[in-house]
Amino acid sequence: LVRGGDRAVSILILFILMFYVLAALIRLAYFNVMEEERQKTEGGCRKTYIGLPVTSAALIFPSIMLLQYILPFDITPIYYLALLVTGFLFVSKIQVKKPGVCGVWIMVGIGAVEALILLLALLLVRHIH
């Protein structure tokens, strides 16, 4: 994983990646079971999530990638730290308010802006090389 790098660092990175994937899988499975149970007892729409929704990663990680174009240093360690923190938040007991229609549109807008900036950055890098 780390070219010419330390084996311990490669193992740590592999651990972080596996932890992130497992946390996301556990979060999705737990959410499905809890939602089934909630619908049997409460019905209606859910107002909050327990743990950070996995879909939030679609906004978090492109934002971090965009920082690489702004900051004058390598942010790879920050990226791995974000993976670790996000994984913990997936399985945490924090309550996250479910966004309303306006909140969803704001997230879609942020995602679209991120996608556009990343696409422009990719085209710029290809044009330079």
CA-based radius of gyration for the chain:
18
- The mean of the pLDDT values for the chain is 89
2 falls within a domain? no
How many structural domains is the chain composed of? 1
Residues 102-118: tens digit of each pLDDT = 999 999 999 999 999 98
30 falls within a domain? yes
Using CA atoms, how far apart are residues 43 and 118, in angstroms rounded to an integer? 40
pLDDT value at residue 2: 58
Maximum CA extent, the chain: 59
Using CA atoms, how far apart are residues 31 and 7, in angstroms rounded to an integer? 36
Cβ–Cβ < 8 Å for 27, 54:
yes
Using CA atoms, how far apart are residues 108 and 76, in angstroms rounded to an integer? 26
Q: How confident is the model at residue 84 (pLDDT cuts 50, 70, 90)?
A: very high
CA-based torsion, 55, 56, 59, 61: positive or negative? negative
SS3 for 1?
coil
Domain membership of residue 29 as a residue range: 7-97
Q: Which pTM was predicted?
A: 0.80
70 falls within a domain? yes
pLDDT greater than 90 at residue 68: no
